[in-house]
Amino acid sequence: MNWTLALPEIVLACVGMATLIFGVLRKQDSTLLCSMFVIGGFLISGLLVLTRANGFGFHGQFVADPFSAFNQILIISGATLSLILALDWNRSQGIARFEFPVLMLFSTVGMMIMAGASNLMTLYLGLELMSLALYVLAAFARDDLRSSEAGLKYFVLSGLASGLLLYGISLVYGFSGTMDLGSLHELLLKPESASPGLVVGIVFVLVGLAFKVSAVPFHMWTPDVYEGAPTPVTVFFATGPKVAAMALLLRVMGTSFASLVGAWQILVVIVSIASMVLGAFAAIGQTNIKRLMAYSSIGHMGYALIGLAVGTASGIRGTLVYMVIYVFMTAGTFGCILAMRRKGKAVEQISDLAGLATNDPALALVWALFLFSLAGIPPMSGFFGKLYIFLAAVQGGLWTLAIIGVLTSVVGAFYYIRVIKVMYFDAATEPFDAKPASLSFVVAATGLFTGFFFLFPAPIVAAAQAAAGVLFR
């Protein structure tokens, strides 16, 4: 049992328990100290991920390989950015409690287990650890009715999705006799072993995981939870859990069921098209910026699923590159949304951005950069994310998917550019409050990545290529 392969997760879990005990025993407010401990834990865990050996641990239930390392580093990055953005926000909104960073840490541990799962049971344990912490985080602003509603909606619908996933896992186990992803792959190399019951199980597993990435038609929780949850929690929802669930989807479909690509490809194509179309058209009528970003994220998951639908290592590479770009431009955009405060009170309407270019030219400029990237306009990073995805679709012969993707990108560009129009051409209103240093740091860092990705794409593309080589062999 090579337990050292799970050392990053073990260290992070120990940091979480130590931080929890420290927070309970310390009488005065310890939120900032606990947050610093957790960020330190993230950094140590990230270094351990980069330096550990590859292999299988815990009798084959956990795997350390380039694919898991790539996704775990991205998960840790998203969690760190979200926690930094929460530092000032939670204090100003009166919800600064030491439990917040601890919950975020344990949710991140669950995500890392998901990324390294090589067994359907490990997969489920990681997913539930992530979800249990997310339920509490969504409802963390206890006195805010919208936050309580967001937590309840996510809890009920996520519970339903977990039940479907567990049912799918039980069907797969019942018809194959194994829950090990590698053993399933070996078994399914013989087409006659793929019984109808097993295919039904695969569909249920796909449905359960599609809920976590908020793909249509399992997206119904996303706009309400994004709008109702405290904004730093929304940032967290939009980054880490999306990466973990997408990694899980790629791992399960690209390892165990790779030989049955013909059976599930059409399902992924339909979900991808539906997500892109709904994300493009449903966002047009939104007036709340957080709801607009919720529909935007549904559309972006549709684009990311194109890579899985292609069913090749090239498609997986495209999806992984897309997820890196998506995490950084989304974290940056939400950083700008967190800057929308007047007299200490958060505002969320798009109309509140009127004349931002006059009041705060730097914020308006970086926000425009993020919006252009989300729309996929060159030379921003979002353009290259879509380029890798669409190229993979064309090479895989999925022309319809590529064409629909381009057309929905054009529709999506309308509502992103409308926000830029409000910032630059509408009459100026009252300026926003001064931005805290932590928020400025995240916005600047993600802005530099988004604006200058085209200068250094090679390291990320090479890492994604190595990670994708593990799947669809």
pLDDT digits (tens, 9 = 90+) for 152-199: 988 988 888 899 999 999 998 998 888 888 888 888 777 677 788 888
pLDDT band for 319, please (50, 70, 90 cuts).
very high
Which range scores top for mean pLDDT: 94-98, 194-198, 455-459? 455-459
Helix runs in 283-380, H state only: 289-310, 313-338, 356-359, 361-375
Q: Is 466 exposed, middle or buried (0-12, 13-18, 19+ CB in 10 A)?
A: middle
Distance between CA atoms of residues 465 and 473, nearest Å = 13
Distance between CA atoms of residues 105 and 102, nearest Å = 5
Distance between CA atoms of residues 15 and 11, nearest Å = 6
Residue 228 in any domain: the answer is yes
Per-residue pLDDT of 198-229, as tens digits, reads 888 888 888 888 888 888 888 888 888 888 88
Per-residue pLDDT of 390-399, as tens digits, reads 999 999 888 8
Residue whose tokens read 């590698």:
182
pLDDT value of residue 167: 93
Residue 112 in any domain: the answer is yes
If you average pLDDT over residues 99-112, what whole number do you get? Answer: 93
pLDDT value of residue 456: 87
| Contact indicator for 438, 85 with CB cutoff of 8 Å | yes
> Percent of the chain beyond pLDDT 70?
99
The beta strands (E) that lie in 15-58 are given as 55-57
Residue 261 in any domain: the answer is yes
Helix runs in 93-119, H state only: 99-115
pLDDT value of residue 397: 84
If you average pLDDT over residues 44-64, what whole number do you get? Answer: 87
For residue 85, give the amino acid letter.
Answer: L
If you average pLDDT over residues 299-316, what whole number do you get? Answer: 90
Mean pLDDT in the chain? 88
If you average pLDDT over residues 233-240, what whole number do you get? Answer: 90
Q: Which of 138, 132, 8 is nearest to 69 (CA)?
A: 8
Residue 338 in this model has a pLDDT that exceeds 60: yes
Residue whose tokens read 């039980």:
170
Residue 473 in any domain: the answer is no
> Percent of the chain beyond pLDDT 90?
40
Phi, psi of 345 (to 5 degrees): -105, 135
Residue 9, Cα to own-chain centre: how many angstroms? 19
Cα-based angle 252, 255, 259 (whole degrees, multiple of 5): 110
pLDDT band for 31, please (50, 70, 90 cuts).
confident
Distance between CA atoms of residues 318 and 337, nearest Å = 28
The DSSP 8-state label assigned to residue 453 in this structure reads G
Residue 421, Cα to own-chain centre: how many angstroms? 28
pLDDT band for 69, please (50, 70, 90 cuts).
very high
pLDDT value of residue 473: 61
Distance between CA atoms of residues 248 and 338, nearest Å = 30
Residue 27 in this model has a pLDDT that exceeds 70: no
CA distances from residue 349 to 244, 266, 353 in whole angstroms, order as listed: 30, 38, 8
Query: What is the number of other CB atoms lying within 10 angstroms of the CB of residue 308?
Result: 27
Written as six digits, the tokens of 235 are 């940032």
Buried b (16+ CB within 10 A) or exposed e, 150-180: bbbbbbebbeebbebbbbbbebbbebbeebb
For residue 387, give the amino acid letter.
Answer: L
Residue 41 in this model has a pLDDT that exceeds 80: yes
In the chain, the number of structural domains is 1
Which string of DSSP letters, residue by residue, matches 404-429? HHHHHHHHHHHHHHHHHHHHHHSPP-
Per-residue pLDDT of 401-446, as tens digits, reads 999 999 999 998 998 999 999 888 888 778 888 888 888 899 999 9
pLDDT value of residue 201: 87
Helix, strand, coil in percent for the chain, rounding step 5: 80, 5, 20
Distance between CA atoms of residues 82 and 101, nearest Å = 10
pLDDT band for 48, please (50, 70, 90 cuts).
very high
Q: Where on the phi/psi map is residue 126: left (φ > 0), alpha (ψ -120 to 50), or beta?
A: alpha
Strands 55-57 and 345-346: unpaired
What residues make up the domain containing 38?
3-468
Per-residue pLDDT of 239-272, as tens digits, reads 989 999 999 989 888 887 777 777 788 888 999 9
pLDDT band for 57, please (50, 70, 90 cuts).
confident
The DSSP 8-state label assigned to residue 258 in this structure reads G
Written as six digits, the tokens of 114 are 């998901």
pLDDT value of residue 342: 81
| Contact indicator for 338, 428 with CB cutoff of 8 Å | no
Residue 12 in any domain: the answer is yes
Per-residue pLDDT of 344-399, as tens digits, reads 787 888 888 888 888 888 889 999 999 999 998 888 898 999 999 999 999 988 88
Distance between CA atoms of residues 76 and 68, nearest Å = 12
Distance between CA atoms of residues 117 and 64, nearest Å = 9
Residue 131 in this model has a pLDDT that exceeds 70: yes
pLDDT value of residue 213: 84
For residue 224, give the amino acid letter.
Answer: D
pLDDT value of residue 175: 87
**Rg (alpha carbons) of the chain, rounded to whole number:** 21
